[in-house]
Amino acid sequence: MHAVYNFVSGPLVWVSFILFFGGSIYRIVSMAQMAKKTDPVVYHFWSLKYAMRSISHWIIPFASENMRKHPAMTIVTFAFHICLFIAPLFLFAHIILFKASWNISWIYLPDTVADVMTWIVIGACIFFLVRRLTQPEVKYVTSFSDYVILAIVAAPFITGFWTYHQWVGFRIMGIAHILSGEIMLAAIPFTRLSHMLFFPFTRGYTGSEFGGVKHARDW
Amino acid sequence: MAESVSEGQSLIADEGLDKGLDRLTPDKIEKTINSILKNETGARLKTYVSTCIHCGLCSEACHVYLSNHDPACTPVGKIKLTIWEILKKKGKVDAPFIRRAAEIAYTECNLCRRCAMYCPFGIDIAYMISIVRRICHRLGVTPHYLQDTAQSHSATFNQMWVKDDEWIDTLQWQEEDAQDEIADLRIPIDKEGADIFYSVIAPEPKFRAQLIYQAAVIFHVAGLNWTMPATPGWDNSDMCMFSGDNEMMGRLKKSHFETAMRLKAKKIVMGECGHAFRSVYDMGNRWLGYSEPPIPIVHSIQLFSELLRDGRIKIAKKYDKTVTLHDPCNTVRGAGLHEMIRMVAHETCEKVVEMHPNREHNYCCNAGGGVINCGPPFKNKRVENNSIKADQLKDAKNRGAETVIAPCHNCHGGLEDIIHTYNLDMELKFLGDIIYECMEKPEE
Amino acid sequence: MRSIPMKQRSLKISLIITLIVTLMAAYTVHSQEDVKTVEDDAFSERMRPIVPFLHDEHNENALIEECGVCHHVYDDNGQISEDETSEDNQCSECHLPEKSKNKTELIKYYHNRCKNCHQQRNAGPVMCAECHVKK
């Protein structure tokens, strides 16, 4: 158990960080370079002003027409994404690990708050799953990989929740938690989870075209 | 429920598509697709495909899906059946697949870009459908009627096989007719140095010649210095843009721009057409390397609103039937002219009621993007696949609207079929129709 | 609503008081053998359950004879002093001299002391819940 723990909490952390940060930089830089060659139009019509105008309408809940059309989805997806970032980044237990390893620390959440946020993430994942299984238009475009991606995201939260509450088998779950967190990080740049990286660019470019060229709103 | 091509073969026979298939070989398909993917696409396509999280939220955008509730007709559903499969199989798709992809791309998507405003990532799905059309064009699998207009463009530089003398003859015929109403009216042909080079789409001289008459009256009364060319380049339409024939799209635009430049016109004013406007400020100009048209281009909607604003056209008696407004995708979502349409409508009509949703969010007519140009084989599907528009029109009618103003030729065609099929009994007008009818004209 | 009879209530209160007094006594009067948990006054509020730690048993199992391994004192050169130890001090006296300071600083020293040693020796608890056991 020590060897496994040492491995997943040591070298594998580095591997996942390198894959996440390196991979993210690689994806963005290679996209930017490729665009220069194949889609220079993106650079030409890119407008920071209109990109920000569009992005802001899509990162504020209910600021776009489609969000108002799907209130449940909007609430769930915002709660999900907020908790997905805030809970792990400001979790006391994670900060203690950063402090012990790299001597850095920052503000943290009370554990009960983090607990609720974890519930929200897991609940949202269930919502997304049910949506995929029941909504015909979503089901139609759902492939196996979509379930895998959902599982990749849900796993660190389920295992983390389990471990925190010290339910039976928490040691295995703790290892699974670390491992699944690493898998999620590493998967972000190389799966459709990369929507996290590309959102500002795709939305921003469409915003630029709509705002700068077509004089229309895109929200 | 209208037939979609999601499962198996479509029941709709089309000579262009079906004969096109006979010429395909697996090798040709693979080579053609990969050559396009390699040489004509790149970062944008790749990013769009890898960013789409398959959430299905774009469904809300598409009038086809909202009309038939077929999950294959959501924007992302159409991408699944075309682009995803092409990329997954690296171009190794079979002829029936191409048949299906062509029918989806040409007849179930209007490239109206509403989905780009409903996708949380702003993924330009219309752009991806255009790639599918490009592939189909290069494979020679294009709907027969659409291809016919593209052939006409190639042969005559206009969409409707209008002969050069027929064009001039039509202008003179309209001038003579208009002179019965206003004796000193002229349609100045090939005049150098005019302020306005007026261009129209070929269906105007072909079967809506009264629109040229009306425009001439409006321009004459407003005292504009204008002209129309005697040579090819007069047609601003561009079905090649929609068939996937980018090379020809560029040549058409070049001829249009250069004809205006040859006449040393200060600007081009375009008739009430949407796709033609898209072709000059968005697609064709870019193909030619211009980020904006090389000569200022103004849409009739804008010209009319300016003429009314400046008092160069005065309204004698407002149009007394209640009107509602249809926002064409290419001039509204594509060019932001929606408030100008409203300004003109309010200046000229007693009562205007809005359709909902409106402005950038308005539902497409399902005729644009070359869909109506795919002709009779697909007409029933086109009309059935836009029952949401019929509902929208009916709602406006229930609130008193008797007349629909649609400042776009394609929209006119599409709405006409919808109004007829769904027994809506509403009248269709261009802005020019209303202005011509209501404006102050010189007394004889 | 049913109220608790007076007699029963006073019995309860006295029981609670007895319990608190006993606990406080156990807390203050302790010798080395009685060390059963890891504690430090600097931790005013606790984020995790207190860590059970049987001092003598742990050191027997771990074959630790030198007190200075844990109860170390640093000399002026920053080296662990060989002939000085700090059993009478709380860790926080040196490791968190300003009480207001971020408590993660002190937690770091505790964790590194226990966990790093366990990891090196492949023995003893290393995961959060293995030490901070919920009751």
Helix (H, G, I), strand (E, B) or coil at B429: strand
| Confidence bin at C47 (pLDDT 50/70/90) | confident
CA angle B207, B209, B210 (to 5 degrees): 125
Please say whether the beta carbons of A74 and B120 come within 8 A.
Answer: no
Amino acid at residue number A106: W
A-C C-beta contacts closer than 8 Å: 50
pLDDT for A90-109, tens place per residue? 999 999 999 999 999 999 99
Name residues whose C-beta falls within 8 Å of residue C109's C-beta, 6 or more positions apart in sequence: C91, C95
Q: Is residue C7 part of a domain?
A: no
Widest Cα–Cα separation across chain C: 70
Please say whether the beta carbons of B296 and B325 come within 8 A.
Answer: no
The predicted pLDDT at position C84 comes to: 85
Compare all CA atoms of chain A with the CA of B126 and give the residue at the minimum distance: A206
Considering only CB atoms, which chain B residues are within 8 Å of A31? 43, 46-47
Distance between A5 CA and the closest CA of chain B, angstroms: 33
Would you mind telling me the total number of residues written for chain B in this entry?
A: 444
Q: Please tell me which residue, B19 or C11, carries the higher pLDDT value.
A: B19
A11 upstream amide cis, omega within 30 of 0: no
Tell me whether residues A194 and B51 touch, CB distance under 8 A.
Answer: yes
Tell me whether residues A166 and C129 touch, CB distance under 8 A.
Answer: yes
Window 71-100 of A: residues touching C by CB (8 A cutoff) are: 92-93, 95-96, 99-100
Considering only CB atoms, which chain B residues are within 8 Å of A201? 47
Distance between C73 CA and the closest CA of chain A, angstroms: 21
How far apart CA C132 and CA C50 sit, in angstroms, is 6
CA angle A203, B340, B409 (to 5 degrees): 85
The distance in angstroms from the start CA to the end CA of chain A is 52
Question: Rg for chain C (alpha carbons), in Å?
Answer: 19
Helices (H), B351-429: 379-384, 387-398, 409-421
Q: How many other C-beta atoms are found inside a 10 Å radius of the C-beta of residue B90?
A: 11
In chain A, where the domains are located: 2-213
Residue of C48, C114, C122, C128 best to disrupt the A interface, most CBs of A under 10 A: C128
- Cα separations in angstroms, B42 against A34, A42, B28, B127, C114: 7, 11, 21, 12, 54
Beta bridge partners of B269: B198, B298
How far apart CA B282 and CA B291 sit, in angstroms, is 8
CATH 1.20.950 is held by the domain A2-213: yes
CA angle B271, B275, B280 (to 5 degrees): 80
Tell me whether residues A210 and B117 touch, CB distance under 8 A.
Answer: yes
Tell me whether residues C128 and A5 touch, CB distance under 8 A.
Answer: no
The distance in angstroms from the start CA to the end CA of chain B is 55
How far apart CA B42 and CA B60 sit, in angstroms, is 28
The predicted pLDDT at position B1 comes to: 41
The tally of domains found in chain C comes to 1
Beta bridge partners of B196: B226, B267
Please say whether the beta carbons of B87 and B73 come within 8 A.
Answer: no
Question: Residue B157 half-sphere exposure, CB side, CA atoms within 13 Å?
Answer: 19
Q: Which domain holds residue C93?
A: 31-131
Tell me whether residues A171 and C118 touch, CB distance under 8 A.
Answer: no
How far apart CA A2 and CA B348 sit, in angstroms, is 83
In this predicted structure, the answer to whether residue C75 has a pLDDT above a threshold of 90 is no
How far apart CA B161 and CA B202 sit, in angstroms, is 8
What single-letter DSSP state applies at residue A191? Answer: S
Chain C contact for A5 (CB, 8 A cutoff)? yes
Amino acid at residue number C100: S
What subunits touch chain C, counting only 3 or more CB pairs under 8 A?
A
Q: Is residue C18 part of a domain?
A: no
Q: How many other C-beta atoms are found inside a 10 Å radius of the C-beta of residue A54?
A: 28
The angle that helices A144-164 and A111-134 make with each other, rounded to 10 degrees, is: 160
Name residues whose C-beta falls within 8 Å of residue C19's C-beta, 6 or more positions apart in sequence: none
Beta bridge partners of B315: B439
How far apart CA C11 and CA C15 sit, in angstroms, is 6
CA angle B174, B204, B171 (to 5 degrees): 25
How far apart CA A114 and CA B4 sit, in angstroms, is 48
Q: How many other C-beta atoms are found inside a 10 Å radius of the C-beta of residue B30?
A: 15
Mean pLDDT of C19-29: 56
Q: Is residue C19 part of a domain?
A: no
Window 6-65 of C: residues touching A by CB (8 A cutoff) are: 47
Helix (H, G, I), strand (E, B) or coil at B235: strand
Q: Is the dihedral of CA B220, B226, B232, B238 positive or negative?
A: negative
Helix (H) or strand (E) holding B405: strand B403-405
Chain A contact for C133 (CB, 8 A cutoff)? yes
Q: Is residue C12 part of a domain?
A: no
Tell me whether residues B59 and A137 touch, CB distance under 8 A.
Answer: yes
Helix (H, G, I), strand (E, B) or coil at B430: coil
Beta bridge partners of C37: C52
pLDDT for A140-163, tens place per residue? 999 999 999 999 999 999 999 999
Tens of each residue's pLDDT in chain B, 444 residues:
444 555 555 679 999 999 999 999 999 999 999 999 999 999 999 999 999 999 999 999 999 999 999 999 999 999 999 999 999 999 999 999 999 999 999 999 999 999 999 999 999 999 999 999 999 999 999 999 999 999 999 999 999 999 999 999 999 999 999 999 999 999 999 999 999 999 999 999 999 999 999 999 999 999 999 999 999 999 999 999 999 999 999 999 999 999 999 999 999 999 999 999 999 999 999 999 999 999 999 999 999 999 999 999 999 999 999 999 999 999 999 999 999 999 999 999 999 999 999 999 999 999 999 999 999 999 999 999 999 999 999 999 999 999 999 999 999 999 999 999 999 999 999 999 999 999 999 876
Tell me whether residues A96 and C119 touch, CB distance under 8 A.
Answer: no
Residue of B47, B85, B339, B388 best to disrupt the A interface, most CBs of A under 10 A: B47
Q: Is residue C17 part of a domain?
A: no
Considering only CB atoms, which chain A residues are within 8 Å of C107? 96, 99-100
Considering only CB atoms, which chain A residues are within 8 Å of C128? 93, 163-164, 174
Distance between A102 CA and the closest CA of chain C, angstroms: 10
* B401 CB-contact burial (10 Å; exposed 0-12 / middle 13-18 / buried 19+): buried
| Residue given tokens 């921003």 in the structure block | A204
pLDDT for A114-133, tens place per residue? 999 999 999 999 999 999 99
| Edge-to-edge strands, sheet with B267-270 | B226-227, B196-199, B267-270, B297-299
Would you mind telling me the total number of residues written for chain A in this entry?
A: 219
Domain made up of B314-438: CATH architecture? 3-Layer(aba) Sandwich (3.40)
In this predicted structure, the answer to whether residue C24 has a pLDDT above a threshold of 90 is no
Find the CATH number of the domain harbouring C126: 3.90.10.10
How far apart CA A86 and CA A120 sit, in angstroms, is 12
| Confidence bin at C5 (pLDDT 50/70/90) | low
Window 11-70 of A: residues touching B by CB (8 A cutoff) are: 31-32, 34-35, 37-39, 41-42, 44-45, 54, 58, 64-66, 69-70
Tell me whether residues C112 and A100 touch, CB distance under 8 A.
Answer: yes
Q: Please tell me which residue, C85 or A139, carries the higher pLDDT value.
A: A139
Beta bridge partners of C80: C74
pLDDT for C79-103, tens place per residue? 888 888 888 888 988 888 776 678 8
How far apart CA C6 and CA C10 sit, in angstroms, is 6
Q: How many other C-beta atoms are found inside a 10 Å radius of the C-beta of residue B311?
A: 8
What single-letter DSSP state applies at residue A176? Answer: H
Of B54, B71, B361, the CB nearest to A136: B71
How far apart CA B57 and CA B78 sit, in angstroms, is 14
In the CATH hierarchy, which top-level class contains the domain B15-142? mainly alpha
How far apart CA B314 and CA B222 sit, in angstroms, is 9
The predicted pLDDT at position C44 comes to: 79
Tell me whether residues C123 and A2 touch, CB distance under 8 A.
Answer: yes
Amino acid at residue number B414: G
Between chain C and chain A, are at least 3 CB pairs below 8 A? yes
Compare all CA atoms of chain C with the CA of A6 and give the residue at the minimum distance: C119
Compare all CA atoms of chain B with the CA of A149 and give the residue at the minimum distance: B53
pLDDT for A33-84, tens place per residue? 999 999 999 999 999 999 999 999 999 999 999 999 999 999 999 999 999 9
